[in-house]
Protein backbone atom coordinates (compact mmCIF):
# COMPACT_ATOMS: atom_id res chain seq x y z
CA UNK A 1 0.00 0.00 0.00
CA UNK A 2 1.56 3.25 -1.05
CA UNK A 3 1.52 6.26 1.19
CA UNK A 4 3.55 8.27 -1.29
CA UNK A 5 1.18 11.21 -1.33
CA UNK A 6 1.96 13.28 1.76
CA UNK A 7 0.55 16.54 0.49
CA UNK A 8 -1.09 18.58 3.27
CA UNK A 9 -4.82 18.75 2.58
CA UNK A 10 -6.76 21.93 3.34
CA UNK A 11 -10.23 20.66 4.21
CA UNK A 12 -11.30 24.22 5.09
CA UNK A 13 -10.99 25.59 1.55
CA UNK A 14 -13.24 23.67 -0.77
CA UNK A 15 -15.40 24.49 -3.80
CA UNK A 16 -18.92 25.74 -3.04
CA UNK A 17 -21.57 23.04 -3.56
CA UNK A 18 -24.62 25.31 -3.41
CA UNK A 19 -26.12 25.82 -6.86
CA UNK A 20 -24.25 22.84 -8.33
CA UNK A 21 -25.43 19.26 -8.78
CA UNK A 22 -25.27 18.26 -5.10
CA UNK A 23 -28.34 16.34 -3.98
CA UNK A 24 -27.42 17.09 -0.36
CA UNK A 25 -27.48 20.85 -0.92
CA UNK A 26 -30.22 21.09 -3.58
CA UNK A 27 -32.97 18.87 -2.31
CA UNK A 28 -34.20 21.21 0.45
CA UNK A 29 -32.89 24.49 -0.98
CA UNK A 30 -35.55 27.10 -1.18
CA UNK A 31 -35.34 30.28 -3.21
CA UNK A 32 -35.65 32.76 -0.38
CA UNK A 33 -33.86 30.96 2.44
CA UNK A 34 -30.38 29.47 2.70
CA UNK A 35 -30.58 25.82 3.79
CA UNK A 36 -27.51 23.87 4.91
CA UNK A 37 -27.57 20.29 3.59
CA UNK A 38 -26.69 17.98 6.50
CA UNK A 39 -28.73 14.91 5.70
CA UNK A 40 -27.65 12.38 3.02
CA UNK A 41 -24.30 10.74 3.81
CA UNK A 42 -21.79 12.37 1.50
CA UNK A 43 -19.09 14.82 2.50
CA UNK A 44 -18.48 18.28 1.08
CA UNK A 45 -14.78 17.55 0.45
CA UNK A 46 -13.50 16.84 -3.07
CA UNK A 47 -12.13 13.35 -3.65
CA UNK A 48 -8.35 13.01 -3.13
CA UNK A 49 -6.12 14.33 -5.95
CA UNK A 50 -4.69 10.89 -6.81
CA UNK A 51 -8.26 9.69 -7.43
CA UNK A 52 -9.06 12.65 -9.68
CA UNK A 53 -5.77 12.17 -11.56
CA UNK A 54 -6.53 8.48 -12.05
CA UNK A 55 -9.95 9.33 -13.52
CA UNK A 56 -8.37 11.89 -15.88
CA UNK A 57 -5.74 9.38 -16.96
CA UNK A 58 -8.37 6.74 -17.64
CA UNK A 59 -10.34 9.25 -19.73
CA UNK A 60 -7.24 9.73 -21.86
CA UNK A 61 -6.77 5.95 -22.15
CA UNK A 62 -8.30 3.26 -24.35
CA UNK A 63 -11.95 2.84 -25.37
CA UNK A 64 -14.64 2.94 -22.69
CA UNK A 65 -16.11 -0.47 -23.45
CA UNK A 66 -17.30 -2.90 -20.78
CA UNK A 67 -14.52 -3.07 -18.23
CA UNK A 68 -13.10 -5.64 -15.89
CA UNK A 69 -11.87 -4.81 -12.41
CA UNK A 70 -8.12 -4.15 -12.84
CA UNK A 71 -6.05 -7.00 -11.40
CA UNK A 72 -4.15 -4.43 -9.37
CA UNK A 73 -7.37 -3.33 -7.67
CA UNK A 74 -8.03 -6.90 -6.54
CA UNK A 75 -4.44 -7.30 -5.30
CA UNK A 76 -4.55 -3.98 -3.43
CA UNK A 77 -7.91 -4.87 -1.86
CA UNK A 78 -6.73 -8.30 -0.71
CA UNK A 79 -3.48 -6.89 0.71
CA UNK A 80 -5.45 -4.24 2.53
CA UNK A 81 -7.83 -6.77 4.12
CA UNK A 82 -4.86 -8.85 5.20
CA UNK A 83 -2.97 -5.87 6.59
CA UNK A 84 -5.83 -4.09 8.36
CA UNK A 85 -7.84 -7.05 9.61
CA UNK A 86 -5.56 -10.05 9.27
CA UNK A 87 -8.25 -11.45 6.97
CA UNK A 88 -7.04 -13.64 4.12
CA UNK A 89 -9.56 -13.34 1.31
CA UNK A 90 -9.46 -15.45 -1.83
CA UNK A 91 -10.04 -13.55 -5.11
CA UNK A 92 -12.71 -16.09 -6.10
CA UNK A 93 -14.87 -14.87 -3.18
CA UNK A 94 -15.28 -11.37 -4.66
CA UNK A 95 -18.29 -10.08 -6.54
CA UNK A 96 -17.94 -6.58 -8.05
CA UNK A 97 -21.06 -4.48 -7.60
CA UNK A 98 -22.22 -1.04 -8.75
CA UNK A 99 -22.74 0.02 -5.12
CA UNK A 100 -23.38 -1.35 -1.65
CA UNK A 101 -27.17 -1.06 -1.94
CA UNK A 102 -27.49 -3.58 -4.80
CA UNK A 103 -25.46 -5.90 -2.56
CA UNK A 104 -27.71 -5.28 0.45
CA UNK A 105 -30.95 -5.73 -1.51
CA UNK A 106 -29.51 -8.69 -3.48
CA UNK A 107 -28.32 -10.40 -0.28
CA UNK A 108 -31.76 -9.94 1.28
CA UNK A 109 -33.37 -11.70 -1.68
CA UNK A 110 -30.67 -14.37 -1.98
CA UNK A 111 -31.61 -15.92 1.36
CA UNK A 112 -34.99 -17.42 2.22
CA UNK A 113 -38.31 -16.62 0.62
CA UNK A 114 -40.84 -13.79 0.50
CA UNK A 115 -42.66 -13.60 3.83
CA UNK A 116 -39.58 -14.65 5.82
CA UNK A 117 -38.39 -12.54 8.73
CA UNK A 118 -35.09 -10.65 8.62
CA UNK A 119 -33.29 -9.20 11.62
CA UNK A 120 -31.91 -5.72 11.27
CA UNK A 121 -30.50 -3.39 13.89
CA UNK A 122 -32.83 -0.60 14.93
CA UNK A 123 -32.36 2.28 14.48
CA UNK A 124 -30.66 1.82 11.15
CA UNK A 125 -29.85 3.44 7.83
CA UNK A 126 -33.28 3.49 6.20
CA UNK A 127 -32.30 1.16 3.33
CA UNK A 128 -31.98 -1.71 5.79
CA UNK A 129 -35.74 -1.53 6.29
CA UNK A 130 -36.13 -0.88 2.55
CA UNK A 131 -34.15 -4.00 1.67
CA UNK A 132 -36.57 -6.08 3.74
CA UNK A 133 -39.76 -4.31 2.70
CA UNK A 134 -39.01 -4.14 -1.03
CA UNK A 135 -38.04 -7.83 -0.92
CA UNK A 136 -41.32 -8.82 0.73
CA UNK A 137 -39.49 -9.78 3.89
CA UNK A 138 -40.57 -8.93 7.41
CA UNK A 139 -37.99 -6.68 9.15
CA UNK A 140 -37.49 -7.45 12.85
CA UNK A 141 -35.84 -4.46 14.56
CA UNK A 142 -33.06 -5.38 16.96
CA UNK A 143 -33.11 -2.91 19.85
CA UNK A 144 -30.09 -0.92 21.02
CA UNK A 145 -29.63 0.69 24.40
CA UNK A 146 -27.36 3.34 25.83
CA UNK A 147 -25.01 1.93 28.44
CA UNK A 148 -22.53 4.37 30.07
CA UNK A 149 -23.04 6.76 27.19
CA UNK A 150 -22.31 4.07 24.62
CA UNK A 151 -24.79 2.40 22.30
CA UNK A 152 -24.88 -1.37 22.40
CA UNK A 153 -26.97 -4.09 20.81
CA UNK A 154 -29.49 -5.72 23.09
CA UNK A 155 -28.10 -9.26 22.82
CA UNK A 156 -30.97 -10.80 24.77
CA UNK A 157 -33.30 -9.30 22.21
CA UNK A 158 -31.11 -10.66 19.41
CA UNK A 159 -31.21 -14.16 20.90
CA UNK A 160 -34.98 -13.87 21.12
CA UNK A 161 -35.34 -12.66 17.51
CA UNK A 162 -32.90 -15.29 16.28
CA UNK A 163 -35.21 -18.08 17.44
CA UNK A 164 -38.25 -16.61 15.74
CA UNK A 165 -37.61 -18.11 12.31
CA UNK A 166 -35.57 -15.25 10.81
CA UNK A 167 -33.39 -16.29 7.85
CA UNK A 168 -30.85 -13.47 7.74
CA UNK A 169 -29.32 -10.71 9.82
CA UNK A 170 -28.49 -7.41 8.13
CA UNK A 171 -25.66 -5.88 10.14
CA UNK A 172 -24.31 -2.35 9.79
CA UNK A 173 -20.80 -1.92 11.22
CA UNK A 174 -19.53 0.74 11.84
CA UNK A 175 -23.10 1.68 12.48
CA UNK A 176 -25.06 4.37 10.67
CA UNK A 177 -26.66 6.29 12.40
CA UNK A 178 -25.32 5.33 15.85
CA UNK A 179 -21.71 6.04 14.87
CA UNK A 180 -20.31 3.09 16.73
CA UNK A 181 -17.66 0.49 16.06
CA UNK A 182 -18.88 -2.90 17.22
CA UNK A 183 -16.44 -4.53 19.64
CA UNK A 184 -15.26 -8.09 19.14
CA UNK A 185 -17.31 -9.56 22.02
CA UNK A 186 -20.54 -8.15 20.64
CA UNK A 187 -19.75 -9.33 17.11
CA UNK A 188 -18.92 -12.81 18.40
CA UNK A 189 -22.16 -13.01 20.39
CA UNK A 190 -24.19 -11.83 17.40
CA UNK A 191 -22.44 -14.27 15.05
CA UNK A 192 -23.01 -17.14 17.47
CA UNK A 193 -26.73 -16.34 17.70
CA UNK A 194 -26.84 -16.48 13.89
CA UNK A 195 -24.84 -19.70 13.60
CA UNK A 196 -27.00 -21.40 16.26
CA UNK A 197 -30.14 -20.57 14.31
CA UNK A 198 -29.00 -20.99 10.71
CA UNK A 199 -29.21 -17.27 10.01
CA UNK A 200 -27.05 -15.80 7.23
CA UNK A 201 -25.21 -12.56 8.05
CA UNK A 202 -25.01 -9.72 5.57
CA UNK A 203 -22.55 -7.13 6.92
CA UNK A 204 -22.56 -3.65 5.38
CA UNK A 205 -19.12 -2.30 6.31
CA UNK A 206 -19.11 0.73 4.02
CA UNK A 207 -18.03 3.02 6.91
CA UNK A 208 -15.05 0.82 7.90
CA UNK A 209 -12.45 3.40 6.83
CA UNK A 210 -14.06 6.23 8.77
CA UNK A 211 -12.81 5.35 12.26
CA UNK A 212 -12.48 8.39 14.53
CA UNK A 213 -11.57 6.81 17.87
CA UNK A 214 -7.93 5.82 17.66
CA UNK A 215 -8.21 3.19 20.40
CA UNK A 216 -10.77 1.13 18.50
CA UNK A 217 -10.43 -1.21 15.56
CA UNK A 218 -12.89 -2.22 12.92
CA UNK A 219 -13.36 -5.99 12.79
CA UNK A 220 -15.11 -7.51 9.77
CA UNK A 221 -17.50 -10.00 11.35
CA UNK A 222 -16.64 -12.58 8.69
CA UNK A 223 -12.97 -12.46 9.71
CA UNK A 224 -13.75 -13.89 13.17
CA UNK A 225 -13.80 -17.56 12.14
CA UNK A 226 -14.09 -19.85 9.13
CA UNK A 227 -17.57 -20.85 10.22
CA UNK A 228 -18.76 -17.24 10.30
CA UNK A 229 -16.94 -16.52 7.03
CA UNK A 230 -18.90 -19.34 5.36
CA UNK A 231 -22.14 -17.91 6.71
CA UNK A 232 -21.75 -14.32 5.60
CA UNK A 233 -21.76 -11.71 2.87
CA UNK A 234 -19.56 -8.66 3.52
CA UNK A 235 -20.05 -5.44 1.59
CA UNK A 236 -17.20 -2.92 1.22
CA UNK A 237 -16.76 0.22 -0.82
CA UNK A 238 -14.45 3.24 -0.99
CA UNK A 239 -17.36 5.57 -1.70
CA UNK A 240 -17.99 6.93 1.83
CA UNK A 241 -14.42 7.43 3.04
CA UNK A 242 -13.10 8.89 -0.22
CA UNK A 243 -16.38 10.63 -1.13
CA UNK A 244 -16.89 8.95 -4.49
CA UNK A 245 -20.68 8.54 -4.60
CA UNK A 246 -20.97 10.91 -7.57
CA UNK A 247 -18.24 9.14 -9.56
CA UNK A 248 -20.51 6.14 -10.10
CA UNK A 249 -21.08 3.16 -7.90
CA UNK A 250 -18.53 0.57 -6.94
CA UNK A 251 -18.54 -1.97 -4.12
CA UNK A 252 -17.22 -5.44 -3.47
CA UNK A 253 -19.16 -8.27 -1.93
CA UNK A 254 -16.97 -10.85 -0.20
CA UNK A 255 -18.82 -14.16 -0.21
CA UNK A 256 -16.62 -17.14 0.76
CA UNK A 257 -19.45 -19.70 0.56
CA UNK A 258 -19.92 -20.71 -3.12
CA UNK A 259 -23.64 -21.51 -2.70
CA UNK A 260 -24.34 -18.16 -1.11
CA UNK A 261 -22.22 -16.41 -3.75
CA UNK A 262 -24.18 -18.16 -6.51
CA UNK A 263 -27.48 -17.16 -4.86
CA UNK A 264 -26.36 -13.53 -4.66
CA UNK A 265 -25.16 -13.52 -8.27
CA UNK A 266 -28.50 -14.92 -9.44
CA UNK A 267 -30.35 -12.08 -7.72
CA UNK A 268 -28.08 -9.50 -9.31
CA UNK A 269 -28.05 -11.06 -12.76
CA UNK A 270 -29.10 -8.54 -15.39
CA UNK A 271 -30.11 -6.06 -12.66
CA UNK A 272 -26.88 -4.71 -11.20
CA UNK A 273 -25.01 -2.93 -13.99
CA UNK A 274 -21.25 -3.38 -14.43
CA UNK A 275 -19.13 -0.89 -12.55
CA UNK A 276 -17.44 1.34 -15.12
CA UNK A 277 -13.78 1.92 -15.98
CA UNK A 278 -13.78 5.31 -14.22
CA UNK A 279 -15.05 3.92 -10.93
CA UNK A 280 -12.49 1.11 -11.06
CA UNK A 281 -9.73 3.66 -11.66
CA UNK A 282 -11.04 5.78 -8.78
CA UNK A 283 -11.29 2.82 -6.39
CA UNK A 284 -7.79 1.61 -7.19
CA UNK A 285 -6.26 5.05 -6.62
CA UNK A 286 -8.26 5.50 -3.40
CA UNK A 287 -7.12 2.24 -1.86
CA UNK A 288 -3.55 2.39 -3.24
CA UNK A 289 -2.50 6.04 -3.07
CA UNK A 290 -4.60 7.85 -0.47
CA UNK A 291 -3.60 6.61 2.99
CA UNK A 292 -2.21 10.01 3.92
CA UNK A 293 -5.33 11.82 2.65
CA UNK A 294 -7.52 9.44 4.64
CA UNK A 295 -5.52 9.94 7.84
CA UNK A 296 -5.85 13.72 7.43
CA UNK A 297 -9.58 13.41 6.73
CA UNK A 298 -10.06 11.35 9.89
CA UNK A 299 -8.15 14.00 11.85
CA UNK A 300 -10.35 16.77 10.45
CA UNK A 301 -13.56 14.80 11.13
CA UNK A 302 -12.34 14.07 14.66
CA UNK A 303 -12.03 17.83 15.22
CA UNK A 304 -15.56 18.36 13.87
CA UNK A 305 -16.86 15.52 16.02
CA UNK A 306 -15.27 16.94 19.19
CA UNK A 307 -16.58 20.42 18.46
CA UNK A 308 -20.07 19.08 17.72
CA UNK A 309 -20.19 17.00 20.90
CA UNK A 310 -19.19 20.02 23.01
CA UNK A 311 -21.76 22.26 21.36
CA UNK A 312 -24.63 19.77 21.58
CA UNK A 313 -23.86 19.18 25.28
CA UNK A 314 -24.25 22.93 25.82
CA UNK A 315 -27.69 23.17 24.18
CA UNK A 316 -30.53 22.44 26.62
CA UNK A 317 -32.91 19.87 25.16
CA UNK A 318 -30.39 18.11 22.87
CA UNK A 319 -28.09 15.19 23.56
CA UNK A 320 -25.96 12.73 21.65
CA UNK A 321 -23.67 9.79 22.41
CA UNK A 322 -20.00 9.85 21.50
CA UNK A 323 -19.40 9.18 17.78
CA UNK A 324 -16.68 6.54 17.34
CA UNK A 325 -16.83 6.31 13.55
CA UNK A 326 -18.58 7.83 10.49
CA UNK A 327 -19.36 11.52 9.98
CA UNK A 328 -22.91 11.11 11.28
CA UNK A 329 -24.33 12.11 14.66
CA UNK A 330 -27.57 10.75 16.12
CA UNK A 331 -29.09 13.58 18.11
CA UNK A 332 -31.86 13.08 20.65
CA UNK A 333 -34.43 15.86 20.26
CA UNK A 334 -37.24 14.23 22.29
CA UNK A 335 -37.09 16.83 25.10
CA UNK A 336 -38.08 19.53 22.63
CA UNK A 337 -41.44 17.78 22.18
CA UNK A 338 -41.78 18.84 18.57
CA UNK A 339 -44.56 17.42 16.40
CA UNK A 340 -42.42 17.68 13.30
CA UNK A 341 -38.76 17.97 14.29
CA UNK A 342 -37.32 17.65 10.79
CA UNK A 343 -39.57 20.45 9.49
CA UNK A 344 -38.80 22.64 12.51
CA UNK A 345 -35.05 22.59 11.91
CA UNK A 346 -35.54 22.90 8.15
CA UNK A 347 -37.54 26.07 8.77
CA UNK A 348 -34.42 27.38 10.57
CA UNK A 349 -32.14 26.58 7.66
CA UNK A 350 -30.73 23.12 8.43
CA UNK A 351 -31.78 19.99 6.54
CA UNK A 352 -31.07 17.02 8.84
CA UNK A 353 -32.21 13.42 8.35
CA UNK A 354 -35.49 12.50 9.98
CA UNK A 355 -34.88 9.79 12.59
CA UNK A 356 -38.40 8.47 11.98
CA UNK A 357 -37.17 7.09 8.63
CA UNK A 358 -34.42 5.23 10.50
CA UNK A 359 -36.60 3.73 13.18
CA UNK A 360 -36.79 6.42 15.88
CA UNK A 361 -38.61 9.74 15.56
CA UNK A 362 -37.00 10.98 18.80
CA UNK A 363 -33.79 11.58 16.86
CA UNK A 364 -32.41 13.55 13.96
CA UNK A 365 -29.20 12.57 12.16
CA UNK A 366 -26.64 15.27 11.45
CA UNK A 367 -23.91 14.98 8.82
CA UNK A 368 -20.69 16.68 9.95
CA UNK A 369 -18.70 15.82 6.81
CA UNK A 370 -18.35 19.51 6.06
CA UNK A 371 -16.03 22.43 6.79
CA UNK A 372 -15.79 23.67 10.36
CA UNK A 373 -17.25 26.98 9.19
CA UNK A 374 -20.34 25.20 7.84
CA UNK A 375 -20.64 23.20 11.05
CA UNK A 376 -20.42 26.39 13.15
CA UNK A 377 -23.16 28.02 11.08
CA UNK A 378 -25.25 24.84 11.33
CA UNK A 379 -24.94 24.85 15.12
CA UNK A 380 -25.82 28.50 15.35
CA UNK A 381 -29.03 27.82 13.38
CA UNK A 382 -29.77 24.73 15.48
CA UNK A 383 -29.38 26.82 18.66
CA UNK A 384 -31.81 29.40 17.31
CA UNK A 385 -34.25 26.62 16.35
CA UNK A 386 -34.04 25.10 19.85
CA UNK A 387 -34.51 28.48 21.53
CA UNK A 388 -37.72 28.93 19.56
CA UNK A 389 -39.09 25.79 21.23
CA UNK A 390 -38.94 27.13 24.76
C1 LIG B 1 -24.56 2.02 5.78
C2 LIG B 1 -24.70 2.43 4.34
N3 LIG B 1 -24.78 1.49 3.39
C4 LIG B 1 -24.89 1.81 2.09
C5 LIG B 1 -24.95 3.12 1.67
C6 LIG B 1 -25.09 3.43 0.21
O7 LIG B 1 -24.09 2.78 -0.51
P8 LIG B 1 -23.97 2.90 -2.08
O9 LIG B 1 -24.06 4.35 -2.43
O10 LIG B 1 -22.63 2.29 -2.40
O11 LIG B 1 -25.08 2.08 -2.66
C12 LIG B 1 -24.87 4.13 2.63
C13 LIG B 1 -24.95 5.54 2.24
O14 LIG B 1 -25.17 6.42 3.02
C15 LIG B 1 -24.71 3.78 3.99
O16 LIG B 1 -24.59 4.71 4.96
Query: Per residue in 111-138, pLDDT tens?
Result: 999 999 999 999 999 999 999 999 999 9
**32 falls in which pLDDT band (50, 70, 90)?**
confident
Q: Is the CB of 176 under 6 A from ligand 1?
A: yes
What angle separates helix 100-110 from helix 258-268, to the nearest 10 degrees? 110
Q: What distance in Å separates the CA atoms of residue 322 and residue 324, rounded to the nearest whole number?
A: 6
Runs of H (alpha helix) within the chain: 23-26, 49-59, 71-85, 100-110, 126-133, 155-162, 184-196, 226-229, 258-268, 277-289, 291-313, 341-347, 372-387
Q: Is the CB of 101 under 6 A from ligand 1?
A: yes
Q: Which atom of ligand 1 is nearest to the CA of 101?
A: 11
The residue nearest atom 13 of ligand 1, judged by CA position, is: 41
Its CATH class, for the domain covering 23-49+291-387, is alpha beta
Q: Which atom of ligand 1 is nearest to the CA of 102?
A: 11
Cα of 241 to ligand 1 centre, how many Å?
11
Domain with CATH 3.40.640.10 in the chain: 61-289
**5 falls in which pLDDT band (50, 70, 90)?**
low
Record: fold of 61-289: 3.40.640
* pLDDT in the model for residue 2: 43
Domain with CATH 3.90.1150.10 in the chain: 23-49+291-387
Q: What distance in Å separates the CA atoms of residue 23 and residue 111, rounded to the nearest whole number?
A: 33
Q: Is the CB of 112 under 6 A from ligand 1?
A: no
Segment 176-213, tens digit of pLDDT: 999 999 999 999 999 999 999 999 999 999 999 999 99
Cα of 126 to ligand 1 centre, how many Å?
10
Distance of CA 52 to the CA centre of its chain: 22
**271 falls in which pLDDT band (50, 70, 90)?**
confident
**Residues near 71 by beta carbon (within 8 Å), at least 6 away in sequence:** none
pTM of the model: 0.97
Amino acid sequence: MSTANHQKIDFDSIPERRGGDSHKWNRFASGSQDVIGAWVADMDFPAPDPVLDAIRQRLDGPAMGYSEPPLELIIVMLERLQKLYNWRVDPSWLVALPGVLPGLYGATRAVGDPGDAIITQSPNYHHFYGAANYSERQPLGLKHRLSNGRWEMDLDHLNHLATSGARSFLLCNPHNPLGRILPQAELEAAAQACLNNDIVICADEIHADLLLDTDKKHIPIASLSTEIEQNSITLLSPSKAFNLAGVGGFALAIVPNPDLRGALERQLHGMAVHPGALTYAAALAAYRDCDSWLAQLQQYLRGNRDYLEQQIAAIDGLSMAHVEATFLAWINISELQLDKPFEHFLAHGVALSDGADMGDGNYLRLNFGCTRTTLEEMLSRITTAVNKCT
